[in-house]
Structure 1
Amino acid sequence: MEQKENKNVLNIDIPADVMDGVYSNMTVVSHSQEEFVIDFVRLVPGSNKARVKSRVVMSPVNAKRTLAALQENLMKYEAQYGSIKLPERKQAGTIIAPFKAEA
């Protein structure tokens, strides 16, 4: 029997220096017509200084797909571990309500 190659499989290589990840306890999102910029920030408690640890720039389509993937995984997380309680916000910002991802 002939084996068919699965063309939908994507092998992703993670370099050793990226494997450990970057800790972030705050994100800052900005955008233009062409791209979204997500800064992953580390804010040290008790300090008024924060440092961008990583910056990701992506297309609007990829940003929407990323948001959909995060929403799906948050729903799975809460189904398994319970609802995530957000502390009262002290700074300006908006929490995006669930949306219908069509990207």
Structure 2
Amino acid sequence: MEENQENQLNIELSEEVAEGIYSNLAIITHSATEFVLDFIRIMPGVPKAKVKSRVVLTPEHAKRLLNAMADNIQKYEMVNGKIKMQEGNQGLPMNFGGPTAQA
């Protein structure tokens, strides 16, 4: 029992961070020593977008994140069905799939 208590990690989640940041675009860059994930929110008709959050990871942690995401996506799809990806739309999701607005 004592050994388990020594290996425990208490993680604090503030209210502000718990709200999360919505992102519909991620840009990933890397160097020899780190991966940088920039999370961005873009809106239709707005030509400028700001980075809302940046996460910097070591290469090892980036690979652990990749594996954890793959595992979670597999579990999600087992319960909810395959996630559909739009074919041929590899660019920015500027139209958001909705009707075009008119003034």
Same fold, TM exceeding 0.5?
yes
Helix, strand or coil for the counterpart of 2:50?
strand
Partners in 2 of 1:19 and 1:63 — Cα distance? 22
Bigger proportion of residues as helix: 2
Moved over 3 A (4+): none
Q: 1:42 to 1:60 in 2, by over 3 A?
A: same
TM-score by length of 1: 0.78
Segments of 5+ residues of structure 2 without an aligned counterpart are: 93-103
Residue 79 of structure 1 is matched in structure 2 by 78
CA distance in 1, matches of 2:14, 2:38: 21
Deviates more, 1:47-56 or 1:60-69: 47-56
| CA positional deviation for 1:5 | 4.3
After TM superposition, give the deviation of residue 8 of structure 1 in Å: 4.0
2-structure distance, mates of 1:63, 1:17: 25
Matched AA of 1:29: I
**Percent of residue pairs bearing the same amino acid type:** 48
* CA-to-aligned-CA distance 1:67-86 (integer Å, 9 cap, x gap): 10000000000000000011
In structure 2, do the counterparts of structure 1 residues 78 and 8 end up closer, same or farther at CA, with 3 Å as the change threshold? Answer: farther
2:68 is the counterpart of 1:69: yes
Cα root mean square deviation, aligned:
1.7
| In 1: Cα distance, 2:55 partner to 2:90 partner | 25
TM-score (norm 2): 0.78
How many residue pairs match? The answer is 90
Consecutive unaligned residues in structure 1, runs of 5 or more: 93-103
